Homo-oligomer: A and B are copies of this chain.
Amino acid sequence: MILKSQVEWALHCCAILAGLPEGRYLSTKALAEFHGLPKEYLSKALQSLSQAGLVHTTLGPSGGYRLARSPEELTFLDIVEAVEGKTRTFVCNEIRANNPCRPKDHCDSAPCAIARVMWGADEAWRQKLRSVTLADLGRTLAQELPPSLWQDTIDWVEDRAG
């Protein structure tokens, strides 16, 4: 059970978009070149972000993507769920219904204990992702990256932004 690589791509792209000057847009082409990713396929991930309403887009030359909300209001969970979907990682196939001892008219009112535990763990995972915003990530990166690399990256983005 491994998250799709599109999740990593989307997170990186959002991290870059978070540093974009107000009102500017960055194209799929620029994002793909920056990360060394296949442009067409990365486009699918960005479309997921767009459909989820996390980013805003414009067409034409100098078009592309920008964040739809402030980095303070965009969490890791938003991005992960946009790409990976909101389905819980544990699916219950109701195999308890096959229990040969069970009377035919028996009807289960509630999800069983096993499913509840698994869903609880799933929720803990989501809660952790919900607790970190893009703004938090930006602060950490600014602290940890060598200042020159950080500045060069900002310049590169600004240069390619439409």
Contact = CB atoms under 8 A, between A and B. Distances in A.
Nearest to A85: B1
A127 B124 CA distance: 9
A68 to B, nearest CB: 20
Contact of A8 (B4, B95, B103): B95
A76 B117 contact: yes
A56 interface: no
Interface stretch (A21-29, A45-53, A58-66, A86-94): A86-94
Given A2-B87, A35-B95, A89-B2, A117 B101 contact: no
A121 to B, nearest CB: 4
Contacts of A9: 95
Interface string A141-158: 100101001001101100
Contacts of A103: 149
24 contacts: A1-B84, A2-B90, A5-B91, A5-B93, A8-B91, A8-B114, A11-B114, A12-B114, A15-B114, A34-B98, A35-B98, A36-B98, A37-B95, A37-B98, A76-B118, A76-B121, A99-B153, A101-B149, A101-B155, A101-B156, A112-B144, A118-B129, A122-B125, A124-B124
Q: Which 7 A-B pairs have the closest CB atoms?
A: A36-B98, A101-B152, A121-B128, A125-B125, A113-B140, A124-B128, A124-B124
